[in-house]
Structure 1
Amino acid sequence: MPEQTKQVWLLARLCLRLKSSTLMLIIIIFLKNVQESSGETLKYDDGSTYIGEVRNGKPNGKGFITGRPGSKWAGRSYDGDWVDGKIHGFGVYKNLSGDIYAGQWKFDKAHGKGFMKWASGSSYDGDWVDNKRHGFGVSKDGAIYAGQWKFGKRHGKGFYKWSPGSKCAGDSYDGDWKDDKRTGFGVYRYSSGASYDGYFVDGKKRGLRIKN
């Protein structure tokens, strides 16, 4: 990858972190223009268009794809690495809803390190396996969770802080999780300063160990 393009990829990730959708769009257009100036064009029967490096009639290397209304890629785009016609390596993907993923891919699936920014404003930065959050990552949707994940669910050790304005605003939990629920040993801290450290099952306290 040329040094200039590497720098743009790094800037793209920073823009996602800073919630700068306008600058992100500028970067995607820039990358598209870079590839238009040096790559081949593949036009598919469904109306999708690929611009970039090609080998044996398939996208291979760096390339950009999008599509007109009614095509497979209508309203969606991907700019990044390809191997034998599949998304593989590093790239930026945007779907019809406006969600953006920037990170590593393995044969058309988010796999490795990646940052996802949903159109709703929620985000996730961390490990992915087969399009699911898996490993360690940080999610933000008003509330914040930093910890382990297993196939899209909070599972293992993790820290959670409730969002401002919620029923439990200011409270936090640090401990074990299973299938998206507080299960195992953990410490629950109240906004009042009191805390509970003990066992949880399906998100509920089991036993009383409250400290003031």
Structure 2
Amino acid sequence: MSEEQRHPLEPKAVGKGLDAHRHSPLDPQSYLAGSQHPYSPFPGNALKWDSIVYDDGTTYEGLTREGVPHGKGVMVFGNGVGAGFQRAKRGERYEGEFAFGFAHGLGMHTGVDGEIYRGEYLLGKRHGCGAVVDMQPYYKQVAKGANPTEAWENTLPQIKASMQYGTWKKDLMAGSSGSSRFCPLPEVQGTLQEVEEVLTRARMFQYKPDGDVTFMAVQDAKGIPISTFQDPLHYPHNTKFLAPGPLGQCHPIPDSAEVREQMLKHARNYERIYNSYNLPYQSTPGSDMAKAIDAFKAQLAAWQKKLKRIQELEQRRLRRLERRSGVKPDAPKEEEAGRGHGRGRQPPQPVEEEDDGDIDDEDLIASTSGMDSPTGASSQQTGAASNKWGGLPPPTAFGSVSLGMHRAMTGFGCFMEHLAQRAQRRRCLTRPRH
């Protein structure tokens, strides 16, 4: 059926949309507009947050577009299925990325039987790199009344043994990470880290005030909806010390050992993170950082010594040029001119001072620009210096010092780079392996 014969309310037929780039090279997705293809763009309406309770008991909290889950969110299944899943039991949940109502991208599926899958999804199906783990041994011990911490420590070996890394294709595991044909273990671990970031953002859309899911899930014993901790205006009894600003300062911390222990735990955690990303001012003697600081101090002392030597050589050269020209640096020009043309006066003779050493033009790049060039032999020397620099006056004294400092900085940078390559690697902050 041609485009002209299609009814306005009938969806456009594009099949799998594999030739979309041929019809619209600049924007292939625009060719899918008006069809039922999962990648068909919406005609408008930006993303917005929504809290939806469907007729079968399924709930969704997250971003939507035209009322359809799109972006990041959390879906808890009721008596039916959704997000492209073919089968799901009541109470199972999917957290992660959505696209046009489908679970698409990175996400995590938690089953009621204890199976947890984290990885990539394609239109509601496990497809790509991921990992699956069986948490049923832990759930069984908790259901029997065991302490959650002790139950986790006891069942951790079994949980690690049940974990499988690999590649999924259309909801079926195609192979483990041990084969080169499938996702290698480093790629799967990188995918799991990205999944954790997506889950953190998706869970931020849960239990917002005035949401349909909040009214349905957060109720008291009589079925009346109650406010949650996410309500910025409501703080339950004995929790107002958590309020920001002056309100929180008006209420003391409860005299509870558990509350104080949790606050100290978070403070220690923040301190550990801060120390992991910030270097201490006082390093441990004998450590790599202490060696680097000592090397920097030695290099800095060498800088200062070299700079002092450059300044001394520059001053000696300037005095030498002044003796050759016969002009004292502190004598005004008018006085020198009067002395040169006065009656019965002889021009000033250069005073032979004790020579500081033979310093020629190759010893130091010095400056004579800005100084009046005298006639005679000195003029020839100035002209020779100008010819040496291509007809331009030699660099200034400041330029000479800057050039020396630049060379010293370059050498120190190379030294620190070699030192960093030989230094022991710092332990990076990673997520717990379990």
Q: Same fold (TM over 0.5)?
A: no
Larger radius of gyration, structure 1 or 2?
A: 2
Q: Normalising to structure 1: TM-score of the pair?
A: 0.44
Comparing both structures, which one devotes a greater share of its residues to strand?
Answer: 1
Q: Normalising to structure 2: TM-score of the pair?
A: 0.22
Comparing both structures, which one devotes a greater share of its residues to helix?
Answer: 2
